[in-house]
Structure 1
């Protein structure tokens, strides 16, 4: 269902698991009674009652209008700081688009008291993670760090809120404008279907509507922007009175408020911000639009205008979208995907502050004909079928079960809770929006769903967009009958500024002094247990009582590694079929049962293993495990399921053949390992190998792969060990011995100093991969040390490679390098997507940085930075059940001692630059590496040859 089923409410388990809600409320009263810093007012204090869903918080306001929301969570030694500004691309003007997103980039370029690149370096060195995001309605910035780093984060955020402009230079602006262009090229122009949404929205929204242009902006508008425009945008929208500061985690509230007052109180208010109008979008008739793209599968998207976020009809429309196109139990899945007319199809109801829309998309299956007109007819027949089908009691029950389950799972990180508090406050003016959402979604009736169907969907005009392969205009659903107009370009990027908004704030203390760090935090490393089931399957687990949930992963050693090269793709296809029918129930019946439980059971496969993931509320674990037993031990192997999944896999491979990222990964594996060993061939298979697979192949692989001898289990649950082990009895029914890995063929020789070029005509960017084979994974040997050595070269945002190619040259949206290791093999890779016109220059810069690092290694400052970042970052490693499961799996997979983390810490803190530089000298000789580039051969090959490389054409 969308946001309300994914992560809206964030405290069901908090209320349900809290041992003493009365104590929480008493603490709230105590804090409320504490003398607050001058100019700080307590607005609201909330703690959920027993059984109530909600996140405890305190809401304050500073005299300058800044809203502050605090949430205590002492379960892990970390904090998340989120600053959300209520400004997105909706505050831009036609012809002046992209400013909100461009400004997100500018906010990381240093401020008056924080040097260039220092913001990112400080957060990374603190062991934290950080980012910023922009959408139509808001821009947010966040850091998650060990809790002893909180004051430093407030210093950073306050300095860029109040003191950014003195450090904003023309050079910084130009570099970030190029970075945004690279981001657009990578995410939009160079990606199949990348321009779909922005063209669709032009037809969907009225001329000049704030959602009619893309958040990232039009290229011409980015070129039109000036440094002064950016400065004006900051002055207009980045005042504290248009911001919410949300802090959650292991905090002392009184101390936190004192710091907030110190760092933010002297920042002056910005101009007044008034809400934007929300007129409902309407269409006078159905609009048909189309575009040709470098794609294999024709795509159809249909959109119907509805309401806006928090409108009374939003919940019923969400449920309508779920019934029509929300997965295997939906009408659209039944009529389009299961019947083979579409490779994928779904309906959803995305909502933003000013508008929502019901959208349905379908990727045509060429096996049933690639024309989109019949697909449109099928979709409209499915919509009409809903009127006859109606809404069932189970529809409502399923929605409520999913709602409750997803809410509880969303409690598993401080970041998630802080994000929800910030969003509710920004858009509702109340961090406690959960209760209202629960009430309005639980109140939806069958009559409500039918009513919104009649009002917004039945016989209503829509926008219908066809995306077809180059030269495939005959496949479109109908001839275009609409072309967007171009309103007059706005004279100014920003309006509403006054003279008093240009005055620089004055601070009452020396902001050039970076705050000190409190004492080191104590790591909460999970306490692990190890056991075996009756059939000798090893189980490793830990108890995690923060949420009443259970996550179980069953790993079957083998995967792509044990399938013959001639049958590549068999492991993944077998997993797909296991996700379908059993001997007792159809896939639809099983999906319905799982949705009513709010649970997930999913098979998958990759290069070295097949996997079964089980995720459920612990209260439903027994019922979920009964379904696991049926799906794992009684697969249906229905011919129709096999044929449909095989056809979908074939069409997906055809689709991926035009995706530059996929092309580069496939080509790089072939370059390093050849196509005579499994690791050199994609686990997706090839068109040739997949087309030859049979249902008997799947049955045979199932018997070979899904055995007790191949299985290992990782479990994270709020249940204690012995109680959880009894719940795993269905897994103890597995039988069969382990499957040995087949012998691999000899690997190819890396020639070095050669560029292998995969042609992608008209590519807006080139994908560059530089690398060689190295060593397999180890926890404390050369592999581990190699990644320590690589950290300043390409392992962090402010590494040499990224600062050069992104921040200094503006060639790319991001560039990095890493050592990657598995059980048998490993490799080094440096990579980045660069502007097509600077492919040769970018490659030269990559090689310059690798060459210099190979020769001289890291500096003393880089060693200190690496040590601080990696050692302090351990505080972030075990917060969620997902992270705990990953930690356990690494121990289990590589047979590591439980204390290997301590040994790694000791190594990080004591390894010398001399030792790490010797590692770099051993493994990072650029002349021992080959280069793979995916790009427009005609445009980039001459420049590569000028660099002196032998350029070899490569076919996939």
Structure 2
């Protein structure tokens, strides 16, 4: 028997996050393009500067309804025709609204990029916003809300926002609105929000993929470049002050067999020089199954299937008004809620007293930096990250420089950043579970005043 010789590994090649080319269309739209050889599915991300903070009071959720309505018909196609045209292109279109603005995502084979960009341009240039379609989207959203509130993790997030941020801050309320605010939204409200905030001068298009043989300039000029609109001033961000006084909020779910944990505070965004060290330190604390929290609460004590810590940017701005949410999330059996929290706080106190080890730091950096090429194998992953940088007002080379800074982060620096991220005496804790069973054990821990609310 003759066997094929075993292949051998090649020499490692240097890798860095791809750098985009930046330009501007005649209508004022900013364009970032990135050629990626072999990626024949092209990804397009559109960032619209229409932040949730600009939603009219009492109509929170209108940005989400508007975003969903982009694919529900234009001046050239009905909703059914628009969906059929997308399908003929082999394209997918997705939208969502967040604190920084509205995102529209398109993926399409490179051979049909022109047709898909034409549909995308129509959706942005002249969305129909028919009364019947908006009413349907509102009903769908109202149907979603009870299911979301029944989910312990989502319910914990809602309770945390309402506890951490002042009532007059948009961040204190659900991103997609409440039942009371969504039911007030109609086609007139959607059109008003669109006309006030959506225009090419306040939009950025990111195009990533194999652009070989494609005259992208001509395609953009004939599609997104045909969208006209007035100039727009960038939104003036107002600082949001969060109250991270140590306290506990229990959302009562009588009879619940598990307790959902969400322990959080706010911290700096990615403009802050501490971000790389904080990323490494928080990863050591709870970024993976080998982290400290998992090692104690999962492996040693068997309290949970897994618990994670991370930092999530809520709003970022070069003027210093941005902030991120630093959170620890997981669930434990109801009867061990008190002991699990006690051990979690002990992990935090030990971290403050002893710091991280060099081995923990090395594993974190290897996982964060070493797997980066795998994270960005697809055009969609690259386009999404570049669009994130646009949203957060970061330079185009931020991600590339971030990996270099992560690799340079030392153990002492990462330890200090992790301690600063999760100080044991300045954390807001939300528990969704059986209050009758867990309230007294939690009070005995002394981690803050305990308040019980209905689920």
CA contact (8 A) 1:565 1:676 kept: no
1:712 corresponding residue in structure 2: 204
Alpha-carbon distance change, 761 to 718 in structure 1, aligned in 2, over 3 angstroms: same
2:248 corresponding residue in structure 1: 755
In the TM superposition, what whole-angstrom CA distance separates every residue of 1:207-255 from its partner, at most 9, and x where no partner exists?
xxxxxxxxxxxxxxxxxxxxxxxxxxxxxxxxxxxxxxxxxxxxxx533
Cα distance in 2 between the residues matched to 1:694 and 1:898: 38
1:772 corresponding residue in structure 2: 265
Alpha-carbon distance change, 34 to 834 in structure 1, aligned in 2, over 3 angstroms: same
CA contact (8 A) 1:562 1:742 kept: no
CA contact (8 A) 1:550 1:716 kept: yes
In the TM superposition, what whole-angstrom CA distance separates every residue of 1:5-56 from its partner, at most 9, and x where no partner exists?
xxxxxxxxxxxxxxxxxxxxxxxxxxxx97547xxxxxxxxxxxxxxxxxxx
Tell me by how many angstroms 1:860 deviates: 2.0
Q: Answer yes or no: is 1:601 the counterpart of 2:59.
A: no
1:336 corresponding residue in structure 2: none
Counterpart selection for 1:904 from 402, 407, 410: 402
Tell me by how many angstroms 1:741 deviates: 3.0
Cα distance in 2 between the residues matched to 1:873 and 1:688: 44
Tell me by how many angstroms 1:573 deviates: 1.0
Q: Answer yes or no: is 1:839 the counterpart of 2:333.
A: no
Counterpart selection for 1:623 from 107, 110, 115: 115
SS in 2 for 1:692: coil
Q: Answer yes or no: is 1:849 the counterpart of 2:341.
A: no
Q: CA RMSD in A?
A: 2.5
Tell me by how many angstroms 1:629 deviates: 2.9
SS in 2 for 1:908: helix
1:537 corresponding residue in structure 2: 29
Q: Answer yes or no: is 1:858 the counterpart of 2:352.
A: no
Which consecutive unaligned segments of at least 5 residues does structure 1 have? 1-32, 38-252, 257-517
Alpha-carbon distance change, 702 to 954 in structure 1, aligned in 2, over 3 angstroms: same
Counterpart selection for 1:659 from 146, 151, 160: 151
Provide the TM-score with structure 1 as the length reference. 0.44
Q: Answer yes or no: is 1:952 the counterpart of 2:451.
A: yes
In the TM superposition, what whole-angstrom CA distance separates every residue of 1:262-289 from its partner, at most 9, and x where no partner exists?
xxxxxxxxxxxxxxxxxxxxxxxxxxxx
Counterpart selection for 2:52 from 549, 560, 564: 560
Alpha-carbon distance change, 899 to 602 in structure 1, aligned in 2, over 3 angstroms: closer
Cα distance in 1 between the residues matched to 2:62 and 2:301: 44
2:307 corresponding residue in structure 1: 815
Q: Answer yes or no: is 1:934 the counterpart of 2:427.
A: no
Alpha-carbon distance change, 570 to 943 in structure 1, aligned in 2, over 3 angstroms: same
CA contact (8 A) 2:19 2:397 kept: no
Greater radius of gyration (CA): 1
Alpha-carbon distance change, 720 to 705 in structure 1, aligned in 2, over 3 angstroms: farther
Cα distance in 1 between the residues matched to 2:8 and 2:407: 31
Q: Answer yes or no: is 1:696 the counterpart of 2:188.
A: yes
CA contact (8 A) 1:677 1:745 kept: no
Tell me by how many angstroms 1:665 deviates: 1.2
Alpha-carbon distance change, 34 to 533 in structure 1, aligned in 2, over 3 angstroms: farther
CA contact (8 A) 2:46 2:387 kept: no
In the TM superposition, what whole-angstrom CA distance separates every residue of 1:533-575 from its partner, at most 9, and x where no partner exists?
1112111121123143322111101232321342210100112
Cα distance in 2 between the residues matched to 1:628 and 1:773: 36
Greater relative CO (CA pairs within 8 A, separation 6+): 2
CA contact (8 A) 1:524 1:878 kept: no
Provide the TM-score with structure 2 as the length reference. 0.90
Cα distance in 2 between the residues matched to 1:528 and 1:667: 39
2:128 corresponding residue in structure 1: 636
Tell me by how many angstroms 1:524 deviates: 5.6
Cα distance in 2 between the residues matched to 1:544 and 1:551: 11
1:796 corresponding residue in structure 2: 288
Cα distance in 1 between the residues matched to 2:120 and 2:369: 39
Cα distance in 2 between the residues matched to 1:790 and 1:913: 12
SS in 2 for 1:255: coil
Cα distance in 2 between the residues matched to 1:567 and 1:742: 20
In the TM superposition, what whole-angstrom CA distance separates every residue of 1:640-669 from its partner, at most 9, and x where no partner exists?
111111111112112222111110111112
Cα distance in 2 between the residues matched to 1:906 and 1:639: 51
1:781 corresponding residue in structure 2: 273
Alpha-carbon distance change, 871 to 597 in structure 1, aligned in 2, over 3 angstroms: closer
1:649 corresponding residue in structure 2: 141
Q: Answer yes or no: is 1:526 the counterpart of 2:25.
A: no
SS in 2 for 1:869: helix
CA contact (8 A) 2:249 2:430 kept: yes
Tell me by how many angstroms 1:955 deviates: 5.4
2:231 corresponding residue in structure 1: 737
Alpha-carbon distance change, 254 to 600 in structure 1, aligned in 2, over 3 angstroms: closer
Alpha-carbon distance change, 940 to 624 in structure 1, aligned in 2, over 3 angstroms: same
Tell me by how many angstroms 1:586 deviates: 2.0
Cα distance in 2 between the residues matched to 1:827 and 1:935: 22
Q: How does 1:479-558 map to 2 (within 5 A)?
A: 520-523=12-15, 525-558=17-50
2:319 corresponding residue in structure 1: none
Tell me by how many angstroms 1:891 deviates: 4.0
1:885 corresponding residue in structure 2: 383
SS in 1 for 2:150: coil
Alpha-carbon distance change, 677 to 829 in structure 1, aligned in 2, over 3 angstroms: same
In the TM superposition, what whole-angstrom CA distance separates every residue of 1:119-158 from its partner, at most 9, and x where no partner exists?
xxxxxxxxxxxxxxxxxxxxxxxxxxxxxxxxxxxxxxxx
SS in 2 for 1:728: helix
CA contact (8 A) 2:107 2:380 kept: no
Tell me by how many angstroms 1:861 deviates: 1.9
Tell me by how many angstroms 1:858 deviates: 0.5
CA contact (8 A) 1:817 1:828 kept: yes
In the TM superposition, what whole-angstrom CA distance separates every residue of 1:821-852 from its partner, at most 9, and x where no partner exists?
23011122111111112111111121111121
Counterpart selection for 2:220 from 719, 725, 728: 728
Q: Answer yes or no: is 1:255 the counterpart of 2:8.
A: yes
Counterpart selection for 1:805 from 297, 313, 329: 297
Cα distance in 1 between the residues matched to 2:57 and 2:354: 42
1:669 corresponding residue in structure 2: 161
Alpha-carbon distance change, 689 to 745 in structure 1, aligned in 2, over 3 angstroms: farther
CA contact (8 A) 2:276 2:406 kept: no
Cα distance in 1 between the residues matched to 2:41 and 2:404: 34
Number of residues paired by the alignment? 446
Q: How does 1:97-496 map to 2 (within 5 A)?
A: 253-255=6-8
Tell me by how many angstroms 1:907 deviates: 2.9
CA contact (8 A) 2:39 2:378 kept: no
1:312 corresponding residue in structure 2: none
Which consecutive unaligned segments of at least 5 residues does structure 2 have? 317-321
